[in-house]
Amino acid sequence: EDQVTQSPEALRLQEGESSSLNCSYTVSGLRGLFWYRQDPGKGPEFLFTLYSAGEEKEKERLKATLTKKESFLHITAPKPEDSATYLCAATGITQGGSEKLVFGKGTKLTVNP
């Protein structure tokens, strides 16, 4: 069964304190690994897609990396506005045979000023 596991469940950082979020996946025939940001009461906001091991992508203070079994979201010198739940998702296959996203439970990040 396709599965995505994120750790930690929650993370509290001081402003400027860099850290990493982990996403491990077991998905047959991975087509892509996705990171989204979700604020309370809102839909997920797309951040990155990674397609192959060794690939890295950056956006402002965030950098996503991918290996054959896991992905990391590195946050450098975070600010309070980076506080959100970060979701990791991997592509799987739906009942009908088309691609779907399998989501982890997310990491709730809180950055204190």
Q: Which residue in the block uniquely carries the two structure tokens 């951040």?
A: 47
Out of 21, 23, 34, 109, the only residue in the binding site for another protein (CB under 8 A) is 34
Q: How far is the CB of 43 from another protein (least distance, A)?
A: 4
Q: How far is the CB of 18 from another protein (least distance, A)?
A: 26
Beta-carbon contacts of residue 67 (< 8 Å; ≥ 6 apart):
53, 54
- 94 binding another protein? (CB under 8 A): yes
92/32 Cα distance (integer angstroms): 9
For residue 5, the tally of other CB atoms under 10 A from its CB is 13
Token output for 5: 């596991």
100 binds another protein (CB under 8 A): yes
Query: Could you say whether residue 29 binds another protein (CB under 8 A)?
Result: no
28: contact with another protein by CB under 8 A: no
Nearest approach in angstroms of CB 4 to another protein is 8
Rounded-to-integer distance, Cα 15 and Cα 42, Å: 24
90 touches another protein (CB under 8 A): no
Cα angle: 62, vertex 37, 105; to 5 degrees: 115
**Closest CB to another protein among 18 and 52?**
52
Of 43-82, which residues contact another protein (CB under 8 A)?
Answer: 43-46, 49
